[in-house]
Amino acid sequence: MKLTFKKPNLLNGLQIVSKAVPSHTTMPILECILITAADGEIKLIANDMDLGIETVVEGEIIEEGIIALEAKMFVEICRKMTEEEISIETDENYNAFISCGKANFNIVGKDGEDFSYLPEVERNNEVVVSQFTLKEIIRQTIFSISENDNNKIMGGELFEINEDRLKIVSLDGHRISIRNTDLRDSYDPVKVIVPGKTLNEINKILSGEADKDVMISFSDKHIIFEFDSTTVVSRLIEGNYFNVDQMISLDYETKVSINKREFINCIERATLMVKEGDKKPIIIDIKDGSLELRINSTRGSMNEQVDITKEGKDLMIGFNPKFLIDALKAIDEESVSLYMVNSKAPCIIRDESGSYLYLILPVNFVQP
């Protein structure tokens, strides 16, 4: 095999597929990135058996071939090259000769035929969304997945399609994030659980351009994302997702409308009083025309008032400040509405159109 690349093209491709290289594995071949050059196309592939990424890289094929190279070293070599053109040549013993300007590397590769290719998945229920839309709805929900490996279901997000509506749900036992978006066409019903790791990596790769599309396909065990020159194949999480509709009540006794940026800034100022790792709640005291936010810690205390519009009863309630900030930052509107029943019931943040909904459980606090 003999290939030449412009450095930015090769490095971009390597950075895309390296997201599917496992950090720990008992199969050394999976620590590699596969390079294939055939039929006029150069492809880079990585696969950790749960997530696989393939991308087409622009370059010149002088001689076709296939080889697997240790990913970390390969990426670092290409990153450190100072010239614009990189050439890769291999021999029959799977040695790879990488050169750029006056720099020459000889690294030991592996037989590409031993590599685990992406699974062949029958593409069903192909759904099209813009890269901008997909990137946004991942950003607006991914923070609510659980980091606890004991519950795989909570480590993923529900993708539910009903006709021309896509609903994405994440939860971690303390909060729920729901994002709805309209699709361009109507599709057959689909309900799958996509691993959070997959969505995190997809979010990093997507350009987010509104005029570029992502094609999403589903099978019984896999989901496929195709965009630009890249294909991402991920295993789905098996099992039934939680019935979040039963967890959410739209009844309320107190409604607060508040400027989002002012509210975030106030919460962030309050958290300056808390050491990292401390679980100190912020206390929100809601009265006519104002919301007072208070926090007490070993460092001291803080209180601040924010103007609001209130409907219903006065209320004092406590929250984990991080959960509030995560939800508020995911909302693009200038003003947000909070719906509450009492100090023990969840707080709902939602819009009137139903495009987003965030549920946050309150926390107990000592009455000041």
Query: pLDDT tens-digit profile of 3-23?
Result: 999 999 999 999 999 999 998
Domain boundaries, the chain: 2-114, 124-242, 248-360
**Three-class SS string for 77-117?**
HHHHCCCCEEEEEECCCCEEEEEECCEEEEEECECHHHCCC
In this structure, are residues 177 and 330 in contact, taking their beta carbons and an 8 Å threshold?
A: yes
Q: How far is CA 62 from CA 13, 39, 99, in A?
A: 19, 12, 15
Q: Which of 54, 53, 52, 33 is nearest to 43 (CA)?
A: 54
Mean pLDDT of 238-253: 94
Tens digits of residue pLDDT in 95-138: 999 999 899 999 999 999 999 888 888 877 789 999 999 999 99
In this structure, are residues 17 and 117 in contact, taking their beta carbons and an 8 Å threshold?
A: no
Q: Which of 26, 73, 77, 67 is nearest to 48 (CA)?
A: 26
Using CA atoms, how far apart are residues 325 and 95, in angstroms rounded to an integer?
A: 52
**Helix ranges, the chain (H):** 7-17, 71-80, 131-139, 196-205, 260-271, 321-329
Residue 240's pLDDT band, with cuts at 50, 70 and 90, is very high
Tell me how crowded residue 341 is: count the other CB atoms within 10 A of its CB: 18
DSSP 76: H
Mean pLDDT of 21-28: 88
With b for 16 or more beta-carbon neighbours within 10 A and e for fewer, the 142-175 pattern comes to bbbbbeeeeeebbbbbbbbbeeeebbbbbbbeeb
CATH pick for 248-360 out of 3.40.50.11540, 1.20.810.10, 3.30.420.40, 3.10.150.10:
3.10.150.10
The neighbouring-strand residues paired with 63 are: 2
**Helix ranges, 321-364 (H):** 321-329
Tens digits of residue pLDDT in 286-296: 998 899 999 98
Instruction: For 346, list phi and psi in degrees, rounded to 5.
Output: -60, 150
Give the pLDDT confidence score for residue 22 in this predicted structure.
92
Indicate the average pLDDT of the chain. Answer: 93
Q: Do domains 2-114 and 124-242 have the same CATH topology?
A: yes
Give the pLDDT confidence score for residue 170 in this predicted structure.
97
Taking each continuous run of H as one helix and of E as one strand, the counts in the chain are 6, 24
Give the pLDDT confidence score for residue 315 in this predicted structure.
96
Instruction: For 353, list phi and psi in degrees, rounded to 5.
Output: -80, -15
Torsion of Cα atoms, 102 then 103 then 106 then 112, to 10°: -100
Give the pLDDT confidence score for residue 115 in this predicted structure.
92
Tens digits of residue pLDDT in 176-192: 999 999 999 999 999 99
Instruction: For 364, list phi and psi in degrees, rounded to 5.
Output: -70, 150
Residue 367's pLDDT band, with cuts at 50, 70 and 90, is low
Residue 300's pLDDT band, with cuts at 50, 70 and 90, is confident
Instruction: Pick the more confident residue, 118 or 52.
Output: 52
CATH of domain 2-114: 3.10.150.10
Give the pLDDT confidence score for residue 273 in this predicted structure.
87
Mean pLDDT of 159-167: 95
Q: Which residues contact 201 (CB under 8 A, 6 or more apart)?
A: 19, 20, 51, 53, 232
Using CA atoms, how far apart are residues 254 and 317, in angstroms rounded to an integer?
A: 11
Give the pLDDT confidence score for residue 368 in this predicted structure.
58
SS3 162: strand
Instruction: Give the containing element (helix H, strand E) for 35.
Output: strand 32-38
Give the relative orientation of helices 260-271 and 321-329 as an angle to the nearest 10 degrees: 150
Q: How far is CA 13 from CA 44, 169, 195, 207, in A?
A: 7, 31, 23, 14
The neighbouring-strand residues paired with 174 are: none
Above pLDDT 90, what percent of the chain?
85
Residue 46's pLDDT band, with cuts at 50, 70 and 90, is very high
Give the relative orientation of helices 131-139 and 196-205 as an angle to the nearest 10 degrees: 130
Tens digits of residue pLDDT in 198-232: 999 999 999 999 999 999 999 889 999 999 999 99
pLDDT of 276 over the 90 cut: no
CATH pick for 124-242 out of 3.10.150.10, 3.30.2130.30, 3.40.50.300, 3.40.50.10800:
3.10.150.10
Instruction: Pick the more confident residue, 29 or 277.
Output: 29
SS3 7: helix
In this structure, are residues 244 and 144 in contact, taking their beta carbons and an 8 Å threshold?
A: no
